[in-house]
Amino acid sequence: MNVEQERQSYYEDLRPLNLAPLWSVLKRLVPAEPVPAAQPWCWNWEDVYPQLLRAGSLISAEEAERRVLVLENPGLPGKSQVTDTLYAGIQLILPREVAPAHRHTQSALRFVLHGTGAYTAVDGEKTRMSRGDFIITPFWTWHDHGHEGTEPVVWLDGLDVPLVNFLRAGFRESHEEKAQSSTRLIGEAAARFGSGMLPLNCDRSSVTSPVFSYPYARSREALHLLARAEAPDPHLGICLKYVNPLNGDWAMPTLGTALRYFPRGFSTRPYRATESLVLVCVEGRAQVTIGQGPTFSVGPNDIAAIPGWCAWTVQAEEDTVFFSYSDRPVHEKLGLLREQRD
Ligand code: GTQ
């Protein structure tokens, strides 16, 4: 037997003992730099919306529990992942429907894409949903969605499902009632925590922002004013992150959310970080180039997935606003965030 044959027979002897040689996997196990399985991709609203409406005629929100089309990254087929660490889905609710109350240890965000008249209820408080609003469902809070209006309402769900499932920390429960009863006024959380003030002796320990709705109109106005006050950052444009007023940290413990403005004609310099990112176009149109390509033309309600450690640039063809979410808070907390600006 030559050495190679001896090694092979050695490996075969190891297998039933549940032992394996590190040296044959070391470089894959501990790579020189991140190797995402996710691919750069963009989902266009004009493809997604008609399919979502078809789902609306095939299954009710109640039967589906959540009537959602999952954005499946082409590099991760069947995994229900938009990037290696993030989940994204597009949820449809029709007039008079209820998506029944449940809770889970995965954190969820909603970013409203289309329609008016729907609400989401979180731990007894309803919030109306309007286009561009960023709404948080903190982990392990009861939530149901309903619709008192007249037209289809659609939003993006962003969840930390792949991360939580990787940690095997997922729990889920159904509420005994279809829709939880209201125990708080509409706007109560915003009044208590979201006006630049806090109750004098409030508990500051929550890792999720208690301001669970960040209306678009306010955030948009802030970005547009800043665009007149300062030059856009070469890599970020005009970018504001959503924060938890209790501690100034990200609004959610695992998902970093931000709103970004790029004036017409502005191009960003290449930027990459270990975070993986989902971009949602709210207004305008831009070319988004990811890695060595592809370049996607991203317009209203189009959604792009940017895998970790892929450099990306934005070329704004119109005044453009993007909402984004990423796993950045986790990278930061674990000391793993690495960035490169060219
Ligand atoms: O609305 O609670 O897209 O639990 C995936 C899982 C939405 C939700 C999703 C969920 C929800």
Measured in Å, residue 89 CA sits from the centre of ligand 1 at: 8
Q: Tell me, using a 6 A CB cutoff, whether residue 68 lines ligand 1.
A: yes
Q: Which pairs from 166-172 meet CB under 8 Å and 24+ separation? A: 169/105, 170/104, 170/105, 170/106, 171/104, 171/105, 171/140, 172/102, 172/103, 172/104, 172/105
Tell me which of 52, 66, 91, 142 to substitute to probe ligand 1's pocket, judged by most ligand atoms within 8 Å of the beta carbon.
Answer: 66
Please give the single-letter amino acid code of residue 33: E
pLDDT at residue number 1: 84
* 327 contacts 257 by C-beta, under 8 angstroms: no
Q: Is the CB of 157 under 6 A from ligand 1?
A: yes
- 164 CB less than 6 Å from ligand 1? no
Cα distance between residue 37 and residue 105, in whole Å:
25
Atom 8 in ligand 1: residue holding the nearest Cα: 66
Cα–Cα distance for residue pair 110/212, rounded to 1 Å: 10
Q: Delineate the domains of the chain, giving CATH numbers in brackets.
A: 35-341 (2.60.120.10)
What count of other Cβ atoms lies within 10 Å of the Cβ of residue 286?
29
User: 28 C-alpha vs ligand 1 centroid, how far in Å?
Assistant: 34
Which residue ranges of the chain lie beneath pLDDT 50? none
1-53 tens-digit pLDDT: 899 999 999 999 999 999 999 999 999 999 999 999 999 999 999 999 999 99
* Closest C-alpha to 127, from 113, 143, 114: 143
Q: Which residue has the tokens 């993030």?
A: 86
